[in-house]
Amino acid sequence: MITPGMSLKKALLLSLVFHIIFIITTFPRFHRKPVQYWMATPVELVSLPAADTAVTQLVKPAAPAQEKKEPIKEKKAIEKKAKAKKDVVAINPKKKKYEEKPQPLLKEIPPPAPAAPPAAIPAPIAPVPVQSTVIRPDVNDFPFLYYLNIIQKNVSANWNFAYEGTVHQKVVVFFKIDKNGKIYDSEVEKSSGIAFLDQSALRAVLLASPFPPLPNEYDGAFLGIHFGFEFKNEG
């Protein structure tokens, strides 16, 4: 019970408890399921009548009809006709006329190309004449090699000799060079035996003159030169 001295919080709590108890005690009464009752009905069993004892007969399937075999002669004749029809083509199916198939055209085989002519054998190359020169000063241990190279270059540039036939000869020309580079006392020191070769060598020396002046460091009054010419032609 709620008394005047009880607080509001306690009063609400007590009221809640009473409501819960009331709901628990009254709720099952309204939701009880009705009880179902089943009634038994008597049933009388009756036996079935006996089945007929008729015997069923098995029916055999009918045998397939056998194809009539054509005579061997007629079969061969039909095959010959079918084979003959393969080799002809119908022109008009209404008239049933036939014509032979055109035979394929044979390709013409071109004649073999003519053989190429044999390659021409090149003519033998004529040997080229060989000319060479050698220079030797008259002074032992001449130190100015550049000066000797100038002399040999100038003389070789002016030597030109032509000769037909096989020949291999040498000729030596001796000459002197003064301080100014001029040539004097030139002569054939050793002949080749061919006058034209000797004269061509001497002419080359004279055409190369004058040379540059002798080196200032050289003490001699002149410089003697032995100049060799060699000519070779295998004709």
6: confidence class by pLDDT, cuts 50, 70, 90 = low
- The residues pairing with 130 across neighbouring beta strands, listed in sequence order, are 232
**The pLDDT of residue 136:** 94
The CATH number of 130-234, from 3.50.50, 3.30.70, 3.40.1000, 3.30.1150, is 3.30.1150
- Per-residue pLDDT of 75-104, as tens digits, reads 666 777 666 655 554 455 555 555 566 666
* Whole-prediction pTM: 0.47
Query: CB of 211 within 8 A of CB of 177?
Result: yes
Q: Of 23, 106, 208, 70, nearest to 227 (Cα)?
A: 208
Q: Is the peptide bond before 4 cis (omega within 30 degrees of 0)?
A: no
In the chain, where are the structural domains located? Answer: 130-234
Retrieve residue 100's tokens: 């032979």
